[in-house]
Amino acid sequence: MLVKSIFAGFGGQGVLMMGYVFAHAAMNEGCYVTYLPSYGVEVRGGTANCTVCISDEEIASPIASEPDYLVVMNKPSLFTYQNRVSAGGAIFLNSSIIDNLPSRPDVRVHEIPAGAVAESLGDLRVQNLVMLGAFVRRTDVLSPEAVLKGLRQIMGERKKNVIEINRRAFAAGYELK
């Protein structure tokens, strides 16, 4: 098994954290993992993306030229990355922000209202965890328990006050049909 994913959006949307949590979860399940972040010089508002490859064997390259999955949080990222997804792959898009659908008939599209769900939870900053929950549920690549363990590992004791809202956001995304 080799699963390649790209997470993309604006800086400040938690795109890199989403990929980092996913990578940690894969390690928690005993997989080989590569995590390759890329971001502009801006602190917020610039482009941000990361590639996460997980496998049950050693991974030769962290580059995902034809990812199985694309998770996009904004419209520019959809236009930039949609043509890279392998035929038969899937695109997860934040339908709270993105009003266009991909132009490709050979991929599955999952419209996730991450912004609306995060707003209903009282914190727009957790859109990334809503999206990650929906992604984990619909791909069934990793267990939700491994993802939540990865989240706790990354947040650590110094950020334990935000773990609960992030856990709730992940759960809300996971429960989306």
Each residue of 118-164: pLDDT tens digit?
999 999 999 999 999 999 999 999 999 999 999 999 888 777 778 89
- Tell me: pLDDT of 42 over 70: no
What does the pLDDT read at residue 43? 58
| Residues 43-66: tens digit of each pLDDT | 566 789 999 999 999 998 777 789
How high is the pLDDT of residue 161? 76
**Alpha-carbon span 61 to 160, nearest angstrom:** 34
Give the Cα separation of 36 and 38 in Å (integer). Answer: 7
Contacts 24+ apart (CB under 8 A), 161-167: 165/121, 165/122, 165/123, 165/126, 166/126, 166/129
Domains of the chain, start order: 2-175 (3.40.920.10)
Rounded CA separation 2/114 (Å): 27
pTM of the full predicted structure? 0.92
Please answer whether residues 92 and 71 qualify as being in contact, where contact means their C-beta atoms are separated by less than 8 angstroms: yes
Nearest CA among 115, 174, 125 for reference residue 148: 174
